[in-house]
Chains A and B, each alone.
Chain A
Amino acid sequence: MNLPSISASVWEALALGLATGPICLASCGPVVVPWMLILPNGWRVRSHQLTVFLAARLMGYLLFACVAWWAGSAIPHAWSGRAWAFGCVQLLLAIALLTYAIGWPKTRSCAAESGRRLVQIGVAPQPGRTGAATLGFLTGINLCPPFLVAGVRASQLGSLPAALVFFVLFFAGTAVWFAPFLALGFVQRNPAIATVARIAAALLACYYGFLGASTLIARIIYV
């Protein structure tokens, strides 16, 4: 690849990421918003978690870049396994959201109620990185429309490193759009908001579960 074509690809990847960021936002919003509201208070905790989320999302991108480049431009539209992959990712996303909805955080609390407040022993546990990484990775390989467009372009590039760089830059373009989510870090977490976010996460898990299951079932019936 010569220099002008490299710089053209750099700009193309960045521009594509920036231009399609709103779709990324729409695609990830229903996952990120409830998840962020379930997280414990504090701008630092939430921005750290969002960083882990984005890093895992980048990993998802890079993995896809490898697959896309390896399989050539056949992947995004004609690949017969696309519906399978889409269905499975939706189901996994549903499971991850459901885990958040019913699982974390498990604060150790005194069995008895003292007055009206549940007495918490020690410091509330900080969330680990696994949850954020799982959600980030799954939304990363979610096969959303801009992602597929980027996949087509990456697969047409001359080498694997070029495809990887293309996806890194595409990611950087889209990541700018995630900045508004940081504002959620300032939402004071009170038990009511956390419960609302959990129930919303469970509802959204139902939606993704239905989407995944119906895609897979349609695939089984019609293929």
Chain B
Amino acid sequence: MSSHPSTLERPPAFRRIGKSILLTLPILLWSLLMFSRAFFQPRLDLRLASVVVMLFMTALFFLMMRTGTTYRWRRYFFVALGLLFPVGFIADLIAVRGTMSIPIERMVSGDTPFCYMVIPMLVIPAALTRSIIFPGSILPTASNPHSIAIMIGLWLALTLVLGKAWCSYACFFGGIEEGFAAVAKKPKIRRIDPRFRLVPWAILLAIVLLSAALFEPVYCMWLCPFKAVTEYPAVRSVQTAIQMVIFVVLFIGLVIVLPLLTKKRTQCAFFCPFGAFQSLFNKINIFEIRIDREKCIDCAACRNACPTMAISKESVQAGNTLLGCMKCGACVDVCKNHAAVWHVKGTAVGPSSERSRLLFLYGAWAMATMFGGSVLANSVSHLLHFAM
């Protein structure tokens, strides 16, 4: 593991400024459309935040067009999303409830904001009894706008477009560890047993079986590292105290320490069951990353650069990436021989890489601007509110 996209320069394939601006125009128009409602809000902080986020997203897309690289610019957005999401979320919680912890009476009232991580655990109980084993509400209410129907609808729509690229362009948790992974210049731990890649699938299997038996969202109750920075059950018993310790230990270990040491997204690659579940949608998504065997010299740069170890020696030899590829673009950007390429299934591997990239990026960035952008704007508005 000798390199990482942040430290390895790919020979620049700069586009001319005029053409880059032209290619960015659709995203600028899309951003204007997405934030148009916020511009007419009475709150100045929200208006300002929307302008800032709109310019941020458009500028990043322009840089993607101008430089021909993807990973680094996407990472600015994704890390900002990961770091700022908890700010906005916690500020909202404190405004509504006065605390980050959620007591039983609020759960009973259906006030828990729905989180997509629960979705795989809902399927069997819902199929058996039509019960949703989550203490939220099906339709939005004044105290809980993040209702189950809205969040599942949003996830379904985004998943149709993104597949597993959800984990690079939509998830508001993955960016936290991506940020920590970017801090160190070189990884301290280089050798990672590839079998760790299977752990998320095992966790998925275990939580789906247990949730179906116990009719409770087992992962949320026992294993979610992000409870530490969002909301958690009020600590009122030995059990909730143990759960809290687990959340904090997992967060510190998997989201902070290990990414710092390995420069990988360790929680996403080796733990997150929702990520594993989301990988299944790569099967129906038309975009993928392939390795052009004719150009590949087996230098392992792509494997080392991949933040989730979604390329193996065997997969490179087969010209593929693994099911867990989240289309972040790190491998493509780092490959000096242009062997790692963006690809539309059914087309020839290699010659149409840039066309495939553009086709993918327009959809992915549109989704990122719509969903992540609104999350960012909310958080930035809170920060501005504090500052002003």
Contacts and interface: CB of A to CB of B under 8 A. Distances in A.
B198 A196 contact: yes
Interface in B208-237: 209-210, 212-213
A106 interface: no
Contacts, number: 47
Nearest to A26: B213
Contacts of B314: 116
A106 B199 CA distance: 21
B199 A204 contact: no
A27 B205 CA distance: 15
A199 B199 CA distance: 7
Interface string A26-66: 11011001100000000000000000000000000000000
B212 A196 contact: no
Interface string B179-222: 00000000000000001001101110110011011000000000
A198 B299 CA distance: 33
A22 B201 CA distance: 25
Interface residues of A, number: 20
Most buried by A among B199, B201, B206, B213: B206
Contact of B206 (A22, A116, A204): A204
A138 interface: no
A127 B199 CA distance: 24
A200 interface: yes
A184 B209 CA distance: 14
B128 interface: yes
B210 A204 contact: yes
Interface in A165-223: 192, 195-200, 202-204, 207, 214
A26 B212 contact: yes
Contacts of A196: 198, 201-202, 205
Contacts of A207: 206, 210
Interface in B78-93: none
B206 A203 contact: yes
Nearest to A22: B128
A112 B139 CA distance: 60
Contacts of A192: 198
Most buried by B among A197, A200, A202: A200
B202 A199 contact: yes
Given A116-B314, A192-B198, A199-B198, A27 B203 contact: no
Given A22-B128, A116-B314, A204 B209 contact: yes
Contacts of B203: 199-200, 203
B198 A195 contact: yes
Nearest to A205: B206
A34 B205 contact: yes
Contacts of A195: 195, 198, 202
Nearest to B215: A26
B311 to A, nearest CB: 16
A170 to B, nearest CB: 20
Contacts of B195: 195
B231 to A, nearest CB: 23
A120 to B, nearest CB: 18
Nearest to A199: B202
B209 A197 contact: no
Contacts of A33: 205, 209
Interface in B129-186: none
Given A116-B314, A192-B198, A200 B205 contact: yes
B57 to A, nearest CB: 38
Contacts of B198: 192, 195-196, 199
A39 B195 CA distance: 19
A142 B373 CA distance: 51
Given A22-B128, A116-B314, A197 B213 contact: no
Interface of A: 22, 26-27, 29-30, 33-34, 116, 192, 195-200, 202-204, 207, 214
Interface of B: 128, 195, 198-199, 201-203, 205-206, 209-210, 212-213, 239, 314
Given A116-B314, A207-B210, 15 more contacts: A22-B128, A27-B213, A30-B206, A34-B206, A192-B198, A196-B201, A196-B205, A198-B202, A199-B199, A199-B202, A199-B203, A200-B205, A200-B206, A204-B206, A204-B209
25 contacts: A22-B128, A26-B212, A29-B212, A29-B213, A30-B209, A30-B210, A30-B213, A33-B205, A33-B209, A34-B205, A34-B206, A192-B198, A195-B202, A196-B198, A199-B198, A199-B203, A200-B202, A200-B205, A200-B206, A200-B209, A203-B203, A204-B206, A204-B209, A204-B210, A214-B239
